[in-house]
Amino acid sequence: RTVYLNGQWLPEDQAKVSIFDRGYVFADAIYEVTAVIGGKLLDYPGHTARLKRSLEAIGISMPVSEDELLDLHHTIVEKNGLDQGLVYLQISRGAEDRNFLFSDNLTPTLSMFTQVVPLLANPKAETGLAVISMPDGRWANRQIKTVQLLYSSLAKMEAKNRGADDVIFVEDGLITEASSANFHIITKSGVLVTRQLSNALLHGITRSSVLSLALTAQLKVEERAFSVEEAQDAAEAFITSAGAFVMPVVSIDGTSIGDGKPGKTTLRIREIYIEDQL
Ligand code: PDD
C-alpha cells in the first residue's frame, strides 16, 4: 500500500512515527474511518465535520485545509486503486518529550492508510450477528496502566490553566486518585487514609511501599474511600508516584488543608521513603 504521513506519500513500511508521538504515548489523537465503494467516498461531509469537532474538542489545530483533506482522500483511493474498503485517517497532537502537560507549538502528525474490505458482499448481512452484553467500562479499568491518558492529560492542562498543579478525580462523590499519582490524607486524629484498591484507581507501587513504611513507623492506616470535603478537612494530604515520591498537597479547589503548608507527617514519610529506597 501507499500511505500518507505528514505531507509524504510512502510505501507502508517506510512511514515512521516518533516513539515520542503523543498519539503513541498518551492516546492523544483523533481518527476517522470513511467507507469507499466503487472508488466513491461514502458520507464524506459527515466524517469531515466530526473530524473537525473532535480536533476542536481537544484543541488540536487542523493541519490541512478542507480542500487539501478532500484531495488527500481522493488521492489515497486512487494511488491504491481502492474499489471497496476503508480510508483510515489519524491526527495526533505531535511529538515531544513525555509530559502530561503539552506545548502549544506542536506540529500534528497526520497519517492515512487504506484497507481493502468487501463491504457489500458481507456474508454476515445474510446471517446476522450474535452479541453479548457488557458493562460500559470505557474506561473504568484504571488498575491497568494503559496509555489511554488523554483525559488525564487534558485534565492536568485544565489544572495548569486554572493556576493549579494537579487534579484529583472524583467519582460518585469520592476521590479516586490524582491525574498521575495516588492521593492520600492524614486525618486530624493522625490516621493515614487511602482509598482501597479496586478498578477505580491505579495500584501504585509507591503507594504500596509508603503504606508498609507507615505501618512500620507505627502510623495508623485505613484503606477506604473519602470525599473532597473530608480531604479539605484533613490535617494533611499528599500524593505518591514514581515521579513525585511523596508530595504534599496543600489545597483543594482553593481550600487550604491544615495550615496550608506541607504537613509534618507527610514530609517525614517522604524522607523515610527516599531513605528506604536509596
Ligand atoms: N504515574 N495513579 C496514576 C493514574 C498514575 O499514572 C500513577 C503513576 C500512579 C502512581 O503509581 P506508581 O507509584 O506506581 O508510580 C497512580 C506515572 C508516574 C506517570 O504516568 O508519569
Q: What is the pLDDT of residue 74?
A: 98
Pocket test for ligand 1, best of 182, 210, 213, 240 (most atoms within 8 A of CB): 182
Q: What is the pLDDT of residue 154?
A: 94
Task: Give the whole-angstrom CA distance, residue 108 versus residue 201.
Answer: 31
Task: Give the whole-angstrom CA distance, residue 61 versus residue 255.
Answer: 36
User: How much distance in Å is there from the Cα of 138 to the middle of ligand 1?
Assistant: 19
List of domains in the chain: 2-120 (3.30.470.10), 150-277 (3.20.10.10)
Task: Give the whole-angstrom CA distance, residue 141 versus residue 182.
Answer: 15
Locate 96 and state its grid cell: 515531544
- Identify which of 88, 56, 57 has the alpha carbon closest to the alpha carbon of residue 72: 88
Place of cell 499528599: 238
Pocket test for ligand 1, best of 238, 241, 249, 277 (most atoms within 8 A of CB): 241
- Out of 16, 40, 145, 261, the active site residue is 145
Query: What number does the ligand 1 atom closest to the CA of 242 have?
Result: 15
pLDDT band at 171 (very low <50, low <70, confident <90, very high): very high
User: How much distance in Å is there from the Cα of 149 to the middle of ligand 1?
Assistant: 11
Q: Whose CA is nearest to atom 6 of ligand 1?
A: 180
Q: Whose CA is nearest to atom 11 of ligand 1?
A: 204
Q: CA-based diameter of the chain, in Å?
A: 73
45-82: b (≥16 Cβ within 10 Å) or e:
eebbeebeeebeebebebbeeeeebeebbeebbeebeb
Query: What number does the ligand 1 atom closest to the CA of 208 have?
Result: 13
pLDDT band at 61 (very low <50, low <70, confident <90, very high): very high
| H helix and E strand count, the chain | 8, 15
Among the residue ranges 96-105, 123-132, 174-183, 211-220, the one predicted with the least confidence is 123-132
Asked if residue 228 lies in contact with residue 177, where contact means CB atoms within 8 angstroms, the answer is no
User: How much distance in Å is there from the Cα of 242 to the middle of ligand 1?
Assistant: 6
User: How much distance in Å is there from the Cα of 207 to the middle of ligand 1?
Assistant: 9
Q: What is the pLDDT of residue 135?
A: 85
Residues with CB under 6 A from ligand 1: 177, 180-182, 202, 204-207, 240-243
Model-level ipTM above the cut of 0.95? yes
Asked if residue 217 lies in contact with residue 196, where contact means CB atoms within 8 angstroms, the answer is no
Query: What number does the ligand 1 atom closest to the CA of 179 have?
Result: 4
Asked if residue 1 lies in contact with residue 80, where contact means CB atoms within 8 angstroms, the answer is yes
- pLDDT tens figures, 62-85: 999 999 999 999 999 999 999 999
* Burial bucket for residue 29 (CB in 10 Å: 0-12, 13-18, 19+): buried
Omega before 139 within 30 of 0, i.e. cis: yes
What is the rounded average pLDDT of the residues 218-237? 97
DSSP secondary structure letter of residue 250: -
Q: Whose CA is nearest to atom 2 of ligand 1?
A: 181
User: How much distance in Å is there from the Cα of 257 to the middle of ligand 1?
Assistant: 23
Locate 258 and state its grid cell: 491544615
What string of DSSP letters covers 82-119?
-SEEEEEEEEE--B-SS-SS--TTPPPEEEEEEEE---
What percent of the chain clears pLDDT 70, i.e. is strictly above it?
100
User: How much distance in Å is there from the Cα of 219 to the middle of ligand 1?
Assistant: 23
Asked if residue 110 lies in contact with residue 17, where contact means CB atoms within 8 angstroms, the answer is no
- pLDDT tens figures, 84-142: 999 999 999 999 999 999 999 999 999 999 999 999 999 988 998 899 888 888 889 99
Task: Give the whole-angstrom CA distance, residue 187 versus residue 175.
Answer: 15
Examine the residue annotation and report whether 145 is marked as an active-site residue of this protein. Answer: yes
